[in-house]
Structure 1
Amino acid sequence: MTILTASAPRDEMSGAPDVRVVAVPAGHPYVQRVTDAAGIALLPDPPVPGAAEGVWWPPVALDPDWIRANGDRADVLHVHFGTESFAAGHLTACVEAAHAAGWVVVFTVHDLTHPQLVDQRPYAAQLDELVPCADALITLTTGAAAEVRERWGREAVVLPHPAILREGASPTVVALSEDLRVGMHLKDLRPGTDGPESARTLVAAVERLREQGRHAVAEIRMHRSVRDEIARDEVRAAVAGHPYAVLVEQGRLPDAALNAALGGLDVCVLPYRYGSHSGWLELCWDLGVPVAAPDVGHFSDQHDDASTASFHPGDVDTLTEALHALLSRHEAARPGSIARAEIIEARRAHRREQDAATATAHAALYRRLRSERAS
């Protein structure tokens, strides 16, 4: 992991912000955590005409005309999410406008394949625009950095994903159960999620575990409103009538309810057909929940401990092996146990230290780039 450090400039020591950042989007919790450093001022997202409060997409700030009109208000343009809203050439125009205004441009490569898209070609073309012309790149894992190096010949600073579990938030304490609850959250069946195949594979893996003498049950959750109704019906069919599987169809859960649902699992299985990094995996880590992750993207690089195990998407054998390994490793830290509670507190303490270092590293990068541009 690369952590940048720098001595505090005079404005930072006085408490006044010395670096003004236009982040896209500023309101995202990830962005707010990584810019939470002394001397950094994060400009709010400009309101999107006609959109509800809190909706930041399509991002108004990622526009060359807006950048030109606000050139004296910022020092840094940091792009995280939302590029898929625009046509080819738009991002190049934004970078050119930012440079003309004297700003530096940073791009965090969260996604090397886009989980919200079926056709990856437009997003790949956007990466081909933005990765080469940004002044600096950040990504979340060494594996993603290696892919960036291979595809574009550029080095990316590796800084880990910050905590998702909010400070002071804790999952509802659950009673210990004989059943080993293996969960999967399909949410609204976005393109990067293979709901039907993932559900069928999990149900079959649970049957295998029970044949091995483990009291495993599958808990599959899915939103009532989904993007693919045919896939929804296939998920229902995969679970219907199964004695050791349940399908919960629900609305989008508020944070406390989601933490409780995840915190009650022995293992969470990620249902992705493709992707790069997973915020869901990070929330599970915060909650002490082991994760079985498909061997695509860079999910296995997000934590270098025994909290994850990989499997081939759609393969019952490898999923069964991953679940067996995770259940065996974490047998003493089941939901409701003292050991699980201790893991959560230890990880919370680790996140505090790590997140502070990550925010400091962002600030140091911004200052170094600004200084280099000014010289």
Structure 2
Amino acid sequence: MTSQITSNIIRVASVPSDQIYIRHLESCHGQRRPQILRLPDPVPARGSRSRQSPWWPPVMLSAQWVRDHHDSFDLMHVHFGFDALDPQQLRETMAELRRWGKPLVYTVHDLINPHQPDSAAHLALLDVLITGADELITLTDGAAAAIAAQWGRQAHVLPHPHVLDFAVMERIRQSRRTQRAQDPQRLRRVGVHLKGLRANISPAILEPLARIVAEIPNAVLQVNIHRQVLDPDSSEYREELARLLTGGQLKGKWELVSHEYFSHQELCEYFASLDVNVLPYQFGTHSGWLEAALDAGTAVVVPLCGQYAGQHPSLAAYRWNADQVEEESLRAAVRRQVAMEFIPGMGAAERQEQREALAEAHQRIYATLLGRRKTSPKTGSSAAGAR
């Protein structure tokens, strides 16, 4: 069986496929023509398979997989996971895609990898992907401008889709409306989550944030962290941080909550419990976390680094000066979000409209690429490299 655009099904080798961002690019109605069929993620045969990302490392990104399965897909769309490869392996995979006339779409989520303190390795991979992809997508105007400035490529700007399910989103947002109407003097809960303390997360924000929240009437600071970081028997244990966190709790600076990785339901309820969520990121690009918070109607404070502030107009931003928080900018941002009178983010109906628009935009990009390939005189040579 060979690829046929006329089948009204576009088969996408999506890297990955089973990830919430990618799943929420699909139409809720499933009636678009041509339909998009994303191949399921092959199970990794070896490598350090992630508990949170069971598709990692991604099998589809090997040149051998492309050779063996080129008849099963029409184009490849890369999102995440390519950090499992080195630049030469990525070039070999892209050469194999060109050999079989398979266009490549790349969504630029991260201009800087939030898991890596040194950006050099990630940038080397971006040099291969961004220069070689047939079409680029990114999430914000700022990221598109950075791509144009550094690589001379134009990217489609398509916003991040919803993270929470529509029914859950509406339930949480309605509960907020009711609570605000019934109790205008309610306790305001400001939350900061250190997660597993990945490379771009800094606990240096805690002390200034505690001082700021202490100044606000009827406000409390909640600090969350994955249990392993506080467990002396875990390989992820951070002794100095554990002393800081438990000491701050004993002094009444914050409430400390340690737990296992959130399930999706637990994540929803976490955001539902907060009025404001502060992102403690020192570098990075975009955030699905802030999108989930906005789905739940939680106000978000973001750093001015990266492109976080460009994801939604309701966000408030603060600055880092090297490894220190610029406290006045953080104070202004937190106070603004605590005092916010409206519920930020889109409601379920708006998010559903946005999802349909995103599905249509992706379908259009795919169909245009495949139409370009179909009319090219030599499929498999210059067509797949057209930009």
How many angstroms does 1:88 deviate by?
A: 2.3
Residues of 2 paired with 1:11 and 1:125: CA distance? 38
Name 1:218's counterpart in structure 2.
221
Q: Give yes or no for contact 1:204–1:316 (8 Å, CA) kept in 2.
A: no
TM-score by length of 1: 0.86
Residues of 2 paired with 1:83 and 1:119: CA distance? 16
Name 2:167's counterpart in structure 1.
168
Q: Give yes or no for contact 2:190–2:221 (8 Å, CA) kept in 1.
A: yes
Q: Give yes or no for contact 1:199–1:239 (8 Å, CA) kept in 2.
A: no
Name 1:190's counterpart in structure 2.
198
Given residue 255 of structure 2, which amino acid in structure 1 is its aligned partner? V
**Pairwise CA RMSD of aligned residues?**
2.1
SS at the partner of 1:137?
A: strand
Q: Give yes or no for contact 1:35–1:363 (8 Å, CA) kept in 2.
A: no
Name 1:258's counterpart in structure 2.
267
Q: Where does 1:67-216 land on structure 2 (aligned, <5 Å)?
A: 67-169=66-168, 170-171=171-172, 173=175, 176=183, 178-194=186-202, 196-207=203-214, 209-210=215-216, 214-216=217-219
Name 2:363's counterpart in structure 1.
363
Given residue 264 of structure 1, which amino acid in structure 2 is its aligned partner? S
Q: Cα 1:143–1:256, aligned 2, differ >3 Å: closer, same or farther?
A: same
Q: Give yes or no for contact 2:106–2:135 (8 Å, CA) kept in 1.
A: yes
Residues of 2 paired with 1:250 and 1:52: CA distance? 18
Q: Give yes or no for contact 1:78–1:105 (8 Å, CA) kept in 2.
A: yes
Q: Cα 1:234–1:193, aligned 2, differ >3 Å: closer, same or farther?
A: farther
Name 2:59's counterpart in structure 1.
60
How many angstroms does 1:35 deviate by?
A: 4.0
Name 2:284's counterpart in structure 1.
275
Q: Give yes or no for contact 2:26–2:356 (8 Å, CA) kept in 1.
A: no
- Percent of aligned pairs with the same amino acid: 33
SS at the partner of 2:14?
A: strand
Given residue 222 of structure 1, which amino acid in structure 2 is its aligned partner? I
Q: Give yes or no for contact 2:162–2:295 (8 Å, CA) kept in 1.
A: yes
SS at the partner of 1:240?
A: helix
Given residue 192 of structure 1, which amino acid in structure 2 is its aligned partner? N
Name 1:336's counterpart in structure 2.
none
Q: Give yes or no for contact 2:112–2:285 (8 Å, CA) kept in 1.
A: yes
Name 2:19's counterpart in structure 1.
28
Q: Which range moved further: 234-243 or 56-65?
A: 234-243
SS at the partner of 2:166?
A: coil
Gaps of 5+ in 2: 230-235, 376-387
- What per-residue deviation string (whole Å, max 9, x for no partner) do you get for residues 105-157 of structure 1? 00000000001112211111000111001000000000000000001000000
Q: Give yes or no for contact 1:24–1:81 (8 Å, CA) kept in 2.
A: yes
Q: Which range moved further: 137-146 or 54-63?
A: 54-63
Given residue 45 of structure 2, which amino acid in structure 1 is its aligned partner? P
Gaps of 5+ in 1: 1-8, 334-339
Residues of 1 paired with 2:263 and 2:246: CA distance? 27
